[in-house]
A = this chain, B = another copy of it.
């Protein structure tokens, strides 16, 4: 893990809140010279602390109903095929705009985050596009009722 001092942390926190802040504004808020802020941000980028600058989509563009999914893949007779199944399913899911995130978990599972505008459409999407996938043994659905931390991941991951 990279070692950061208090100034580095303060700069990162400000940029996480608003990445459009100028060097002058950050310098003002932290009461440090602009040259120092400029140098620190350059260093943070060089050291791989900041990957990139992006936007979070707002409520009018992000899905309102979210669910976490756990898919259990059937173990094939020829065991070598299991990884192929996982690869095929995750790749297929990754191309669907309603799938915000998808990953392989352990030997035979897939986790995903899916979203839609209404609960009815989300349920239908899970029935028609997820549960219908061949080679799946089980689909666990965990509908999100209330985020306590990390809610902005929806606007971050949402496609357009």
Contacts and interface: CB of A to CB of B under 8 A. Distances in A.
Interface centre among A48, A99, A143, A153 (most CB of B within 10 A): A153
Contacts of A90: 146, 148-149
Nearest to A64: B1
Interface string A85-99: 000001101100001
Contact of A94 (B15, B20, B149, B153): B149
Size range of the chain A interface in the assembly: 35 or more
A134 interface: no
A77 interface: no
A145 interface: yes
A37 interface: no
In the complex this chain forms, how many copies of it are found? 2
Contacts of A54: 15-19, 53-56, 156
Nearest to A21: B53
A150 B157 contact: yes
B143 A101 contact: no
Given A91-B148, A148-B90, A148-B103, A153 B155 contact: no
B160 A4 contact: yes
Contacts of A147: 101-103
A73 interface: no
A49 B62 CA distance: 8
